[in-house]
Structure 1
Amino acid sequence: MPSNLKAAITRRGFFRFAAGASAAVAGLPVVTEGMLAHAQRGRRLGDPNHGVHIDSNENPLGPCDAARQAMMSMVPMGGRYLMNQESDMVELIAKQEGLDAKNIRAYAGSSEPLAYTVLAFTSPSKPLVIADPGYEAPMFSAQSVGAAVLKVPLSDPHGAAAHDVKAMLAAASNPGVIYICNPNNPTGSCTPRADIEHVVANAPKDTVVLIDEAYIHLCDAPRSMDFVKEGKNVIVLRTFSKLYGMAGVRMGFAVGRPDLLEKLDYFGRNFLPITATSAAIASLKQADLVDTRKKITAGTRADTMAWLKQQGYAVTPSESNCFMLDTKRPGKEVLMAMAGKDVFVGRIWPAWPTNVRISVGTPEEMMTFRKAFTEVMANPATAWMESPRAHGGKFGEGSTARWS
């Protein structure tokens, strides 16, 4: 049996998962970026592939050619579990990151370990501390176990838009989890390494610092794997959903001390799709893939942000595949009007009500965005009402409210 699976599949562990994890997880949604975007769109759309969707932080390039070929080669083997393949992927990640395989747990994306970390380490007496605006998914996990969610405004929101780490540390005397998404979703901004070091060094001894590096490959910011190597109370999340273009393929992993990862094991793990593991392995072996795709995204992002600034609009200093755009109007009205032109942006964060998040699409998609945005800002209400699908239901009906 692969070494990295032994800890999860033991007789005692198996029965603990079967009896405890299933009961604990039942009814608790693992919220993903895709779910939040779909909730924002609402039921009115019909065909989810219609129009330009720059609201989910997806990579429109999709998997690289090597990953596509690897997935195709796995199709004939789809009737087998191929248990060694996950182990091979974990061993490759460990080698590339200078870690031991026991420090890694693979999942179908990073949403599961994000949710499990919050479920494992927060409680009614141990709150979650999170940036605002920040990625919302951890909040739902915290709320499901009765943990308080303490939102801390980003520092210098009109400038660097980084995590205010001193305020986050001061928010609670006994936080269960301090969540740092770097680069941040939705602003795309990075928090300086020195600030992250400050959190890790000064957090209470039983607090887990959860560093979400879903977008880390899109920027030049220092990585956080060294905290794990040093044995800190840190869990780092990575995903293949963003730069690697595998959002729909589903592959990610968590990195941490074995004793911390064992807390996540309580909530169960399953065999991973062999297509996903093969695609991940192939992607990791492409030496120039990260730099090439980072440049592609950066170029499209820079062109779009420069155009918006020329039009007089403020944007956050993004180093990722998304940024926040201040529309100078209620963001929801602009979002609705853009949807009326079949260009879907979003979401709205209550802390910044005039801002909408823009994901970076292809150059062609961003040109379509420019045209629609220009028309919408001339008269957003009219643009919305003229949409042939505008009367199919209230925008976001039965959806956005579920997450806010």
Structure 2
Amino acid sequence: MEKLARKQIQALTPYLSARRIGGEGDVWLNANESPFDNEYQLTLSQLNRYSDCQPDSLINAYANYAGVNADHVLTSRGADEGIELLIRAFCEAGEDAILYCPPTYGMYAISAETFGVERKTVPLTADWQLDLPAIAENLDRVKLVFVCSPNNPTGNVMKRSDIVELLEMTKDRAIVVMDEAYIDFCLEESCVDLLAQYPNLAILRTLSKAFALAGLRCGFTLANPELIQVLLKVIAPYPVPVPVADIAVQALSEAGRARQKYQVLEITVNRAYLQAGLSQIPGVTVYDGWGNYLLVRFPDGDALFKAAWDAGIILRNSPIENAVRISAGSRAECEKTLTFIRNFYQSLIS
């Protein structure tokens, strides 16, 4: 059967998500999930009817949360579908390209490769910021420039002045796609206010992280109405199941947003606890994180990752040498992880 697949698919290495990698344990800090398991009420009625393509209640609820007009919002099956919609809508296979800046989220490349679209890379600078001169030199045939902020896996935010310069650079040439999957942990760093000034800006959002709804698969694209209308041409007829819209609207209600704000604060405190504790271990470097995770460089990252894995503490290895990404989970999970890492390095010394 594989011989019948398109050549790009035959050569494709799929994205190794946390769930695909697997693992067995009682501490899961590998997927940047929320430790909070919130409850919702479902009526489970009218399931015999198709859902609206873009349910008004959901669109209006997220528009209110994001501070934009409803015609600037599109909802999809997670932000990952938003990535695919943008590539399908704006890139001709075999002609156009996307550009992204590693180390960063791997699905930009996978989605482009799936559709036969060229991938151009301009690595981040030594301090993990945009290399604007190099981007300017590589914009030929580029339709989409993906920028993740806070960046996954490094955790840093991109300089606002650089984002503005990038938007100016790509005017009438390409769309800048700001992936703000983790922006709810630092809303003051969002680019949402730039939508009014730059029609070539699209912003990806999700309920998976700060709203503790990773299993719901509900994401959003924020953009000017003209861009949204283009995406509506290629989106599936019924992308949002009725129960998904129902739960998402509850999460975005006044009560749901109050709960989210409290939980974000607690996760941020746990992240700071992890950072402070890990920073005290000799030879360990902890990078500042603005999302719900930290990138940590160890003397031997692979050895630490495997030892934790064997102990049932599932972390996430990264493409950065000797670096491991650790989600900020519950306080109990963070304490257990920190204790294990301390003991691991203490055993090497003694």
Shift of 1:96: 4.2
Q: Which residue of 1 aligns with 2:3?
A: none
Q: Is the 8 Å Cα contact of residues 78 and 274 (structure 1) preserved in structure 2?
A: yes
Of the three residues 289, 297, 310, the one matched with 2:280 is: 310
Instruction: Report matched runs for 1:292-311 at 5 Å.
Output: 292-311=262-281
One-letter code aligned to 1:38 = R
Q: Which residue of 2 aligns with 1:145?
A: 115
Structure 1 unpaired stretches of 5+: 1-22, 381-404
Give the distance between the partners of 1:168 and 1:136, measured in 2 at CA.
Answer: 19
Check if 1:284 corresponds to 2:255: no
Shift of 1:223: 1.9
Aligned pairs, number: 335
Q: Is the 8 Å Cα contact of residues 286 and 296 (structure 2) preserved in structure 1?
A: yes
Q: Which residue of 2 aligns with 1:121?
A: 90
Q: Please state whether the residue corresponding to 1:242 is helix, strand or coil.
A: coil
Instruction: Report matched runs for 1:2-401 at 5 Å.
Output: 36-41=17-22, 45=23, 50-63=25-38, 68-69=39-40, 72-81=41-50, 83=52, 86-122=55-91, 123-157=93-127, 161-203=128-170, 205-269=172-236, 270-286=238-254, 287-312=257-282, 313-329=284-300, 331-349=301-319, 352-377=320-345
Deviation digits for residues 226-267 of structure 1, max 9, x if unmatched? Answer: 333335211111110000000001211112233323443344
Going from structure 1 to structure 2, the CA distance change for 1:27 and 1:74 (only over 3 Å counts) comes to farther
Q: Please state whether the residue corresponding to 2:21 is helix, strand or coil.
A: helix
Q: Is the 8 Å Cα contact of residues 28 and 141 (structure 1) preserved in structure 2?
A: no
Q: Is the 8 Å Cα contact of residues 98 and 142 (structure 2) preserved in structure 1?
A: yes
Shift of 1:27: 10
Deviation digits for residues 329-380 of structure 1, max 9, x if unmatched? Answer: 2x3332222111111111321xx22111111111101111112223444569
Moved more, 306-315 or 228-237: 228-237
Give the distance between the partners of 1:220 and 1:83, measured in 2 at CA.
Answer: 29
Q: Please state whether the residue corresponding to 2:317 is helix, strand or coil.
A: coil
Going from structure 1 to structure 2, the CA distance change for 1:210 and 1:332 (only over 3 Å counts) comes to same
Over the aligned positions, Cα root-mean-square deviation in angstroms equals 2.8
Q: Is the 8 Å Cα contact of residues 200 and 232 (structure 1) preserved in structure 2?
A: no
Q: Is the 8 Å Cα contact of residues 186 and 324 (structure 1) preserved in structure 2?
A: yes
Deviation digits for residues 245-302 of structure 1, max 9, x if unmatched? Answer: 0000121111223332344334432241222212222222235344322211111001
Instruction: Give the alignment's TM-score, normalised by structure 2.
Output: 0.85
Identity %: 22
Give the distance between the partners of 1:162 and 1:251, measured in 2 at CA.
Answer: 29
